[in-house]
Structures are given as C-alpha cells and as structure tokens.
Amino acid sequence: MDQSVAIQETLAEGETCLIISFVWGKGCYAGRRYLVLRACRIFIYTHRRMAIAAEDVCLERVLPIAEGFAVEEGTAPRRRALFCVTRPSQDFVYLGLKNLQGWRLHPLSGEPGPVLHHPPCERVFPNLQPQLPLLQPEPIAPCPVDRPTETSPECCVLRRQVAKTRGAIQPREGRSRGRGVFVSEEGRLRQSKPKTEVTSAMVRSSTMMVSDKASLLSVKKFELRDTIVKSQLVQKEDSYTSIQNFRFFVGTYNVNGQSPRGSLQPWLSHDIEPPDIYCVGFQELDLSKEAFFFNDTPKEEEWFKAVTDSLHPGAKYAKVKLIRLVGIMLLLYVKADLAPNISEVEAETVGTGIMGRMGNKGGVAIRFKFHNTGVCMVNSHLAAHTEEYERRNQDFKDICSRMQFCQADPSLPPLTINKHDVILWLGDLNYRIEELDMEKVKKFVEEKAFLALYQHDQLKRQMDEKAVFEGFTEGEISFQPTYKYDTGCDDWDTSEKCRAPAWCDRILWKGKNITQLSYRSHMALKISDHKPVSSMFEIGVGIVNEELYRKAFEEIVRSLDKMENANIPSVTLSQREFFFKDVKYMQLQVEKLTIRNGQVPCQFEFISKPDEDTYCKEWLIANPCKGFLLPDSEITVELEMFVNKSTATNLNSGEDKLEDILVLHLDRGKDYFLSVTGNYLPSCFGSPIHTLCYMRDPIQDMSAESIRDLTLMPLHMSGEAFQSEKPLEIPKELWMMVDHLYRNASQQEDLFQQPGLRSEFEHIRDCLDKGTHDTLLGSNHSVAEALLLFLESLPEPVICYEFYTLCLESASNYVLGRQIVSKLPECHKNVFKYLMAFLRELLKNSGKNRLDANILASIFGGLLLHPPPSQPKPDITEKRRAQQFIHQFLLREDNSP
C-alpha cells in the first residue's frame, strides 16, 4: 500500500516520503529478510484505513537508529504502519513496515548487542553516534481492527537521497509545520485534521488503493479451518450484505497514434452527475516501431495527463491503476472518498498478435474489489480486416483463457476474468458490417436506420451463434458507426482503401445488478479515424454490514468447533489413469478428473514428489492444482497437456516421454496417485537444423531410433555415421514455407505482422511433419506465422549461441559480421543466407507489402540471434544490437560466405 501521499501532506517544505521496493536479504541472517538502516531517526505513523490525506495518518513516535544495524522479522500481534521521512540535511535509507512489534534491530558486526523492542523510544544504544534530542510523542492507543483477525506482517522500504550537509535538525517550536502536524513547545507532536483536497499529485501517485474495510472478509490464516470459514462466509454472503448502486463510466477510444489535442471533457464529462468510478481505455496509443517492439512510448504520459485533466469537475478523483501493452492502455480512477473501499487491485496483459504474443493486438485488464464485489475491466484490440472475424473470436478466447490475476493469498489459484461478479469489456473489437456495400451502409446511416444496419453486424451475428462473448450483453446501438473517418472531420474515409463504416468500438458487460444508463459515441472529438464511445452504468455493489458479518462468522466458527477432528477426509476419483493419444506440437489436449468429496470438508492439492521441484512435468498442468471441497460436493480438474518449444526437443529425441505420476494430497487425509501417459508425434518444430538436413523423409515417417540418433548428433559432428546420404543444404520444411511465401505473399500487406489462424497453423504443421501435400494449405499470414514459430522452436538458433556476443560486438561492422557468419556450421550458414535472400526479395515489394528493413530486422533479429536459455533475457540494448546486426545484411546483397 502506498501511503506516502498522505504522509507527504503532513511534512514541512523540503521533507520527503518516497516508497521503493523491498529487498530480500541474503548473508547476514540466512533465510530471513533484513535491511541495512543508515539514518539518525525513524518516524512511525499509524493509520486505521487507506490513507488518502493528512488527516488519515498520525505520527506515533520517533526512533533513533545507529548506522550499521539490520532488521529481522519476528511476530506481530498488532497492526501498525511505519513510514520514514527524509530531512534535507541527511542522505538516508529508511524502512517501512506495517507491524512494528516483533521487529528487532541487531548490529551487523555479529557481536552481541541490544535488541530493540516496543516501545523503542527509551532504549539507548551503546554504539550510537551523537544524536539530536529525541522528540517524545504523546502515547497513542492502538488502532482497532475492522475485522475478526489481523493479517500477517508486510513490509516495504522507503528511500530518498537528499543533499549531504552537517546541519542539525532542530524541532520547530510553537508553530504549525504547515501540513497537519503541530509541534508544541514541549516537543510533543500532535495531529491536526485540516480539510485537504485530492491534488493532481495525489492522483498521479495513488497507484494502488487497498482498504482494511474492503478486505473485511479476510480472516486469519489457519490452513483448512480458514478455508472452510472463507467458503461458508461466501455461501452466507446474502445474510450480511446489502446492495448499493454506484455509477461507473466506461469509455473506449482508438486514437490512431495521435497525441491529445484539446480537452477530453466532451467525452469524459458529458453527464451532469459525476460518476463514482472511471474506466478509460485506449487503443493504438502509439503506432511507432519503438512502441511495437520495445513497449516504450512517451504518449502514455500525454494521454494520462489529458484524461486526468478532463475528469468530471464535480468530484475529486484518485488514480487506482494504469496498465499498458504497446498501444492498448487502461486507466482506473475512483472518487477520493470511495478509495478506502477499493482493495485487491491487480493488472495483467495478454498479447495476441503475431506468434500469439506480440502486443499490437491483445488485451489489458484491471481487477479489484469494490466493497464486497469483485470487478474486472478488460480493454482489448482484436484482429483487423472484415474477413478476419474468426481470428477476432480466437483473440477473445485467448484473452479469456490466458488472463490470470494473482490473489493476495499466494496459496490460492489465480483468478480468471470470469471469476468476477462484474465484468466490463471495452475496446476496438474490430467487428465489421458484412454483406452490404459501402453505399448501402452509408444510406442506412443517413436514414438513421441503425437497427436494420445492426442486423448485418458481425459481432451481433457471432454472439447469436454463441461463438464469442457468451453470457455478455450489449446495449442498443443508437449512434452511427464509429469507424472510419477522415482525421479532423466527420467525413467517411476517402483514402485509397475507402474502408466501409463499422461499429468497431464497443462496450459489453456481464454480471448481476447492472443497468446501462447510456451508450453513445462522441462526434465532437476528431483527432482520430475512430470516434470515442462511452457508457454509463449503474451497478449494484455488495456492502458488508459488519455486525451481521460478525454474527455469521461466529456462527460458522461454533459449528466448526463441534465437527472438527470428527473424521478423516476422503474423496472418490472418477479415474486414476489418463492417456493422451497422439499429442502434437502446440496443440492442447485436455482430460477431466472429477473429485467427489465425502462427509468431511477437505482441502486438496497436487504436491511434488521427493527430489522434484514441481508437482508435474513441464508439459502438464492441473487446473486447478489446489482447492477446497465442502461435504458431498465435487470439483472437475482439467489435466492439460501442451508441448511447446521448451519440451519438444527432448520428446522428439526420446530423452523424455509423456509419463508422469501426480500425487493428490488431502490435508489431514491420505494421498492418491494418478498415472498420466501419452504418445507424442515427433515434429520438425523443436528439431535442430542439422537434424532436419539429414532427414529426407518427413519426420513422422522415420523410425524413433533414427530420429533419436539424428537429434542427439552433435552439431559439429562431420556426419561419418550418415555419409551414405549427403545432407540437404537447408531443411525441406523451411524451404516449403519460404517458397510458399515467395510465390504467394511477396506483395502481401502486413506480412509477418498479422497473425494467422490456429487451425491453419495446425494443418501446416501436419503437412510438414507428414509430407502429405506438395503445397501448404492456409492463408499467407498463417504460413508466415508458422515460419516464425519454426525459427523460434529451434533448440540452437540459426546464429549459434557461441557467436552471440561476437555478433553484438560487430553489430555496426558488416565486414566483421560476414566473417562471423562464415564460421557458422554449414547448415546454419546456408539457412541464414537463404533467409536473408528471401527477406531482401520481400523488400523489393515494399510498396505493396509495407515492409521495410527496420521492421524485418526487428521481427527476425530476436529469432535468429539470441542468448542461450541459461543467460538472462536480453535487455533493450542487446535487442537493438541484434536487430542492427540483421539489418546490415538486409541492405547488402552479397553472395559471399
């Protein structure tokens, strides 16, 4: 929790409170956390709720701290908050933690020394350097806790460097310190309570709001008993909660890479009554290559400021969270007086662009708890082009399946989007109007026949077929299509492409107690080829009655006391042996296990076997891997098998097999053993280049023994065992993909930037592995993505690991770079030269395919040249050098080695 803004409000000019990350220590106290403190005093503040302003925090006491001390975690029976303040005359490193009691200060010398206990103000350290007079604060009673039990200690570090001077810090006597703290003549500090406003600085700093009240349902951890209490509290939720309505503003705007010009109030402050919560999403925030490949853009700050300055003037707001993936950004604000009721804030991103990861398309999401209601807000930018509705459907499903939020309790499984009470989905969904020509669409718009036009909307049709957004609702569309306009006016697209109008920008919702008050576009904003869209919702939120909650809690505890230790838990399993047939590269297979509980509540978890770090092999996962069952209840666990680049090579060679034993453990009960087996169909994906060069037949036509021998053959081996057959210059699978693209896709727009379809990739993979077709069946984008996935899956990249550092050093020296390439193993050298020749051919058609050397170097640089897995991932500087190395070969046509 960042309480530094509120602390800052209490300080005098020149004093600063700033948070940085917590450091996990190693060495001095093995296995424990510690921090080195170098300060002359620590200022301890308490707060009962989320501190928004100065009136919410109270200075409790001041501690003298000697240089060379460490802090060690102990137990903490009471909630306290500790924050540290820098003074202009010292260079300090400070500690911040929630629970003061149980933290002890030790001298780092290792010699026996004093231990700091609560209250610390009276303790004198023998090795303290001369200190200033210690301020003696008035005693303050411990803050009452708003829930039955307290949470475990948390800590953070506060650090601020200031100018080094030797001047002493003297207490200011008999006058106000200017921001809520008064120092009396006796040196005692008292907290005054001025009315403070939420300033723009507070809005910018309040990155996360967490409230004790909003976390009311959290109870003290005591393993199985705790889980039972939580589960039964959820079941009894209606008995201690009531519904209260709040106004949620949801807005989406594709800004086409433009910077903000003018106020956004026509969009964000359209209504008279201010909303309680703002959810504002952007797409195409930045269309530059820097943003696409490095996720770096100055426009994040520009649009954040524009939104902050345009929020409704009738209320004060604090920013809760900002999350961005390339050009997709989501902002969440809340009224300042409601901030104490926001908790459990998490944000995640999912890229669905080329190779299923690039962030030019995908989604970002923020989830949080508002009072007792879980809310998830998703902003997405789905695949473009009229004919790509299936790809849009796939993008939606990928975001739903891959978007997972960590919970405050690390023992609990991650939350998915659908595990929330309220889901608000916004963005440029890119669904178009079909079966109508341009003039017909425009005529419908001129006649304001939006309902008739809506019947041809792709999203409506796909939702009617339950192909996408199942369970979601969209309000009636009574505004004209929001895409595509000429920039700066309200005229439809007059460019060469002349895109047909469409409702690309949409807002949908899912959940109970949700009423849409408005759904509209905002024609006044003209800087983009899209128009912004907004919706105002009235959403019923569960408010906890604390007295009723305590009664429910006590009733559950009493019933548990009666039944505890009555029986040993046991379950019935639907099956104990699972076989996955014909597993293929990057093709998910799922088997289901049903766990039926007996008469005793139980907690289950898949646990690791002796001498193993994880509960299963890398190609397997159980979802969920842990959980809780009430008596006579059941749960379905999905066993998911998925082979990717990290596991395919060993499965191809036979070094690993699809065989594993899962151990299902019941807390206070016995263990159950599940057998998981399967057969893997070998693939060219994940096979070494030199192995494929010796395979004249499709890999699935070869014997397991031959595949094993070729896969395990060292890269630099001369091939004496295979001299009867001369190896191919390049793998035939690589040739098939490149040849297909050369013949069919040289002028394909957005090649290597637009994703293909998963079903088509699977067909292309089967063609390559079985050799069943002379030509690859699938779109150009699918073949291009298959080529990138093939290069990514190579266990040794085209430019071998041993040359990685040399290539970076010669990134701007073409002659030296050619010498390095000439030293590559023959098959790797041939592949590199072949790919460079193909990419140079694509550049000859740049007027049609819109490719340039920078784009191709950015896409292929990290695939052809990257460090071994044992080394850290390359930073931005290394990525740029890798791209620069490839770039120089794209600009020179040289047939020499």
- In a shared domain, residues 382 and 521: yes
- Mean pLDDT to the nearest integer, 730-739: 95
244-293 confidence digits (pLDDT tens): 999 999 999 999 999 999 999 999 999 999 999 999 999 999 988 777 77
Q: What is the pLDDT of residue 52?
A: 46
Q: Is 230 helix (H, G, I), strand (E, B) or coil?
A: helix
- Mean pLDDT to the nearest integer, 431-448: 94
Contacts for 460 with CB less than 8 Å, ≥ 6 apart: 454
574-621 confidence digits (pLDDT tens): 999 999 999 999 999 999 999 999 988 888 999 999 889 999 999 999
CA distance 681 to 597: 37
- In a shared domain, residues 750 and 866: yes
Q: What is the pLDDT of residue 16?
A: 56
In the structure, what pLDDT confidence band is assigned to residue 224 with cuts at 50, 70 and 90? Answer: low
Give the domain extent around 848.
Answer: 726-891
CA distance 789 to 56: 54
Backbone φ/ψ region at 498: left (φ over 0), alpha (ψ -120 to 50), beta: left
CA distance 569 to 567: 6
pLDDT higher than 80, residue 655: yes
In the structure, what pLDDT confidence band is assigned to residue 170 with cuts at 50, 70 and 90? Answer: very low
- In a shared domain, residues 252 and 338: yes
Q: What is the pLDDT of residue 126?
A: 31
- In a shared domain, residues 522 and 582: no
pLDDT higher than 50, residue 82: no
- Mean pLDDT to the nearest integer, 52-60: 54
CA distance 176 to 188: 12
Give, for 378, the enclosing helix (H) or strand (E): strand 373-381
DSSP secondary structure code for residue 615 in this structure:
S
Q: Answer whether residue 120 is part of any domain.
A: no
Q: Answer whether residue 279 is part of any domain.
A: yes
Q: Answer whether residue 102 is part of any domain.
A: no
- In a shared domain, residues 539 and 580: no
- Mean pLDDT to the nearest integer, 380-391: 92
Q: What is the pLDDT of residue 457?
A: 97
Count: domains in the chain: 4
Q: Answer whether residue 184 is part of any domain.
A: no
The DSSP bridge partners found for residue 238 are none
Q: Answer whether residue 284 is part of any domain.
A: yes
Q: How far is CA 582 from CA 372, 646, 657, 707, 765, in A?
A: 46, 19, 13, 17, 14
The pTM of the full predicted model, rounded to 2 decimals, is 0.67
State the CATH number of the domain containing residue 809. Answer: 1.10.555.10
Q: Answer whether residue 773 is part of any domain.
A: yes
Is there a contact between 226 and 219 (Cβ–Cβ < 8 Å)? yes
- In a shared domain, residues 493 and 594: no
- In a shared domain, residues 72 and 13: yes
CA distance 401 to 406: 14
- Mean pLDDT to the nearest integer, 152-168: 29
| Stated length of the chain | 897
Q: What is the pLDDT of residue 151?
A: 31
Whole-number percent of the chain with pLDDT over 90: 58
pLDDT higher than 80, residue 146: no
848-881 confidence digits (pLDDT tens): 998 999 999 999 999 999 999 889 989 889 999 9
Q: Is 679 helix (H, G, I), strand (E, B) or coil?
A: strand
In the structure, what pLDDT confidence band is assigned to residue 341 with cuts at 50, 70 and 90? Answer: very high
- In a shared domain, residues 507 and 579: no
pLDDT higher than 60, residue 103: no
Helix extents (H) in 754-875: 758-770, 780-793, 804-809, 814-822, 826-843, 846-849, 853-864
- In a shared domain, residues 36 and 76: yes
State the CATH number of the domain containing residue 578. Answer: 2.60.40.10
- In a shared domain, residues 272 and 411: yes
90-102 confidence digits (pLDDT tens): 333 333 333 333 3
